[in-house]
Structure formats: C-alpha cells, structure tokens
Amino acid sequence: MTHYTRFNLNIGWRVRSVALLAGAALPLAFAPLGWFPLAVLCPAILFLLCFQAASRQAMLVGFFFGVGFFGVGISWVAVSFYRFGGMGGVLSVAATVLFVLFLALFPALMAWLSRRVFPKLSALTYFTLLMPTLWVLFEWIRGWIFTGFPWVNLGYSQTDSPLAGLASVTGVYGISWVVALSAGLLVNSLWQTGRPRIFNVVGLMSLWVGAALLLLVEWSEPFGEPVTASLIQGNVPQNLKWRPEQRGPTVDLYTRLSRKRWDRDLVIWPETALPAYFHQAEAFLQGLAREAQANGGATLLVGLPVQSDNGDKQYYNAVVRVGTGGDADDDGDVFPSQIYKKSHLVPFGEYIPFKAVLGGLLDILQVPMANFSRGNPTQPLLTLIGQSPEQSTKQSTEQSPVQKISVSICYEDAFGEEVIRHLPEATLLVNVSNDAWFGDSFAPHQHLQMARMRSMETARPMLRATNNGISVMIDHRGQILASSPQFEVAVLDGEVQPRSGATPYVWVGNWPVLLGLVSVLSLCGFLSRRSARRQEVVLNKVG
C-alpha cells in the first residue's frame, strides 16, 4: 500500500511569497552563475504548491512564480529600454514591468489548467506526467507566439550538467522536459513514503545517468582540415555607433585589427559592424578582399545592413562574405560576394509589428535601423573562399573540401529548429551578434548559453563574433575553446574543426517532443476522467 506524507498549506500570501522567491531563484540556474540544480528544485516547489491549491489559487501561485522568474531572468530588458532605447527611467521600468507581467501569464495559465482541466489526477501522475508536460508545452508556445521569446527555457540551464547529453537527441525542449520530470520525481519522492519513494529516487538517478552516457556518443566526424579564424571585437559604444562622425574611426579600427590576420582562413566582423549599407561600402570592402587574397587568402565575413537592388527600398540585417566582384575565373582568384539576410527579426528592435497602428514607436524607441525586412528562411550557405596552390600559405598542397557555413544573426541562434534548416550540409556555424544592447547584465551570458546549446544539438562548432563580448569559439560538444573579455577591443584567434554528419535532432527537430506532449496530455485527460467516474460511482453507492 502506498503511503503519502501530507503537506497542509494555507494558500495565502505566505505561499505566494514562497512562489515568488522560488521563481526569482530559478534564473540563478542559468549563466553566468550556472547553479543548474536550482532548475530542478524551483519548479519542484511550484509543482507542490499548485497541487495543494484550487484552480484559481493555483493560477495566482503560478503568476507570482512567473513574476519572480522573469522579473529577475529578463531584467536586462530595462537596460535596453533605458540606456539605448531613449525611453527614460519611468517609461523603461513601466515597459519592463508590463513585459514581465505578460510573460508571467504563461506559468499562471499552466498552473490553472493543471487544476481546472485535470482535477482528479493522483499525485504520481500530476507530478511526473502532467506538470512536466504542461511546463514544456508553455515553453514551446512562448517560443512561438508573436515570433517567439524562448529566452531562459529550462533546458538551457543544463549546458554544463549531465543532461546536456540529451541535446543532440531531443534538443533543448527535450532537456526542459527531463528537467521538469526530475522536479516531479523529486516532489513525489518527498510526497510518498516506503517503496514508492525508492522507485522515484531510482527513476531520477536513472534519467541523469542515462543522459550522461549520451555525452560519450560522437554524432559527427571531422570534415577537412581545422579552420583558423579571427573574431574582431570592436567594442564600439552603442550610443555612438550610428553617428556619422563615428563611421570613419569604426572602419579604421576594424581594418587595422583585420590586416594582421589575412593569413587566417576566416576573419569575422560582428553584427552591423559597419554603420553603412553594403552598396555604400562595397568598393572599400572589395579592396579589402583583394588585399586579403594577396596576403594569405582569408575569407572576410562582415555584418552590415544591405539594401535590396530591385528598387523596392527594402533593407536587411545581413552578413556578407566579401568578394572582389564579378565571377570567379579559372584560377579561382576572383570571387563574388555572398550575402545572408537575417530571417527571424526581433519585434520592436528590428521591425514594428502592425506598423500601421504602432509605427510611431519607431520615434519613441529611437532604435537605429529598426525597419528591416525579413530574409528568405532558406538561403544558400556561405562558403570559405578557396585558394590556388600559388596563393596558399599552408603546407598542404591538396585541395581542401568546401566548408559550408550556416550563418545566424544575433537572436536567430535562440531557435534550434531554424538553425537545423541548414544541416547536415553546413559544416560550421557562425553567429554574429551585438549584445551591447544588454549592457553589463545577465543577457550576454544567457545568450552565449543558447549558442552553446545550438552546437550541442547539431554537433557542429560555432564561431561567435560580438561587438563588445562575449566573442567565443565553441566546439561541437558546446564547450568553449576560447573567449574574449567583455567591454574591450579584442581579437580572438584560434581554430575549430568543421564536422559532417547529423544528430538525431538534426533529422527530426522538435516534432517527437511535440507529439510526446500531445500524447501525455491525452493520457492525463483519460486518467483524470476515469478517476472522476470512479469517484462518482463510489459516491452513488454511498448515497
């Protein structure tokens, strides 16, 4: 017979305070602190509080948890609004509070649904099936609705835990599910006594050991020779970057830092490194490309805005593989430019949704270049510029295989399902970003953690160049090979090994997790209805 330990909780301000504090502690599981066990403990507290509550009370508990979680976890939004959005202190705080309150609705609705739609579930089913499934479902909805905000998804907290082994199989949402399931098993082991408690502890340990064993699997293999790279970090202040008088010093800085690295395979400038359109700087950049080819053969990738050439005056946030113009000749010493145009834009940062109604926000927010168009989701991959034997400075005279580069710009690396569009063809990931918008906050560290997850999911190395740090080189296991300091002019030199092959996540994406969510919710609905019918039969017999 199963024995349970009962927790008598008065659902009042004390319980809501506990929920608020548990939510506020959860962001500490993420970078930069990385106290990943909190990602299990804090949701476990929420699950326990909700199980003890009626539906409306559970909704309040979930809401307070969400206020604490997002209030701390995305507090950096206020920095963007205040320091770089020109909104002023009061308006910045108000906008941040509204955003946090909106996000807090997700755990609130999760908690409400758990008690309203599934009121008759046993503790075991509630903690280990329903709540982990609802948690991940609402994470997925948050990562999709209004173009998505997947920041601080639970799975990202596990980049340095044994559960990181699941990334290549299930992606970040699968890790979130296992973290939430671990929270449910933890609560149930406290809730139950006797042999069931042992089963829950064994189940919890088995999950983590099994995930750790997946870290031993190699899902990809080396492809060609290692690529030497230099990531140029200009550290140009965000409030000066777009001033006309700053353009010359910015160009001089990036040019000077790059000229010493033409013997590298790849030189990368960060997002919108040049505060000018490509057609305005094309002649200058073509000159740099010719100089690079004459002095070592480096491929130059530059982040800068691009204006469409079809007369419709559309603008794109882009990365250009700078070429010397024209078509490549037989000797391979003339190379055309290749352009990647950002596809997943940031609402209110790069474009204004419902522009006819909200277009005036462009003037209020004062965000430069905030009227971009969306690039095609499926674009040709960029490639390294090849070298003829006469030009090559490398010891090997053999022709290297073509390295295809999957480029993402800033926020795009937060969406695993979009990065895998370019795989398994891509052998190398490149991300350019401008985290200067976030100042000295949690955001650059959280953003880097998401980039590491993309390498884990795809078994591909990543080169990540940012304006003011953290620029990094990441291997195919998501481990940081080299990193730059923040808020300094720096050049990060190193090499990564391109990879070929595909992980299970590359082949199937998020679909197995989504189908699993639907299946488990259907099962929970069936179990809840069956329990209700049994209870009704018992009451009728008693009556």
pLDDT digits (tens, 9 = 90+) for 403-417: 999 999 998 999 999
Q: Quote the pLDDT of residue 91.
A: 85
φ, ψ dihedrals at 357, nearest 5°? -95, -40
Q: Quote the pLDDT of residue 469.
A: 86
357 is a domain residue: no
Q: Quote the pLDDT of residue 363.
A: 53
pLDDT surpasses 60 at 87:
yes
524 is a domain residue: yes
Q: Quote the pLDDT of residue 329.
A: 46
284 is a domain residue: yes
Residues 94 and 157 in one domain: yes
Instruction: Give the H/E segment covering residue 167.
Output: helix 167-191
Average pLDDT of the segment spanning 230-240? 89
Average pLDDT of the segment spanning 271-288? 92
Residues 190 and 279 in one domain: no
Task: For 437-455, give one letter per residue: b (16+ CB within 10 A) or e.
Answer: bbbebbbbbbbbbbbbbbb
Average pLDDT of the segment spanning 206-221? 96
Residue 336 pLDDT grade (very low, low, confident, very high; cuts 50, 70, 90): confident
365 is a domain residue: no
More confident residue, 32 or 237: 32
Q: Quote the pLDDT of residue 372.
A: 84
Residues 149 and 276 in one domain: no
Residues 164 and 263 in one domain: no
Residues 413 and 294 in one domain: yes
Q: Quote the pLDDT of residue 1.
A: 44
Average pLDDT of the segment spanning 295-323? 89
360 is a domain residue: no
Residues 178 and 279 in one domain: no
Residues 306 and 435 in one domain: yes
pLDDT surpasses 90 at 508:
yes
Closest by Cα among 20, 26, 25, 5 to 60: 20
Query: Mean pLDDT in the chain?
Result: 88
pLDDT surpasses 50 at 453:
yes
Q: Quote the pLDDT of residue 394.
A: 41
371 is a domain residue: no
Whole-angstrom Cα distance, residue 199 to residue 181?
A: 14
Find the angle CA(117)-CA(120)-CA(124) to the nearest 5 degrees. 110
Residues 434 and 327 in one domain: yes
- Using CA atoms, how far residue 173 sits from 132, 149, 154, 430, 501, in Å, is 11, 14, 8, 22, 22
Whole-angstrom Cα distance, residue 21 to residue 325?
A: 58
Q: Quote the pLDDT of residue 5.
A: 52
Residues 471 and 427 in one domain: yes
- What tokens does 330 get? 């037989």
Residue 389 pLDDT grade (very low, low, confident, very high; cuts 50, 70, 90): very low
Residues 175 and 249 in one domain: no
Q: Quote the pLDDT of residue 392.
A: 37
Count of domains observed in the chain = 2
Q: Quote the pLDDT of residue 84.
A: 60
pLDDT surpasses 80 at 368:
no
**Which residues span the domain enclosing 474?**
222-344+379-503
Tokens 């909190």 sit on residue: 38
Q: Per residue in 105-159, pLDDT tens? A: 999 999 999 999 998 899 999 999 999 999 999 999 999 988 889 999 999 999 9
Q: Helix, strand, coil shares of the chain as percentages rounded to 5?
A: 50, 15, 35
* Out of 89-103, 160-174, 212-226, 522-536, least confident range: 522-536
- β pairing state of 472-474 and 480-483: antiparallel
Q: Quote the pLDDT of residue 504.
A: 98
Show which residues are catalytic.
Answer: 271, 341, 410
Whole-angstrom Cα distance, residue 486 to residue 468?
A: 6
Residue 320 pLDDT grade (very low, low, confident, very high; cuts 50, 70, 90): very high
Average pLDDT of the segment spanning 312-316? 83
Residues 163 and 230 in one domain: no
pLDDT above 70 covers a percentage of the chain that reads 86
Q: Quote the pLDDT of residue 330.
A: 45
Q: Quote the pLDDT of residue 66.
A: 98
pLDDT surpasses 80 at 367:
no
Whole-angstrom Cα distance, residue 473 to residue 450?
A: 14
Whole-angstrom Cα distance, residue 447 to residue 462?
A: 13
- What tokens does 294 get? 């004459």
Q: For the domain that residue 321 is a member of, what is the CATH number?
A: 3.60.110.10
Residues 168 and 315 in one domain: no
Residue after which a domain boundary falls, among 503, 519, 534:
503
Residue 506 pLDDT grade (very low, low, confident, very high; cuts 50, 70, 90): very high
42 is a domain residue: yes
329 is a domain residue: yes
Whole-angstrom Cα distance, residue 275 to residue 304?
A: 7
pLDDT above 90 covers a percentage of the chain that reads 67
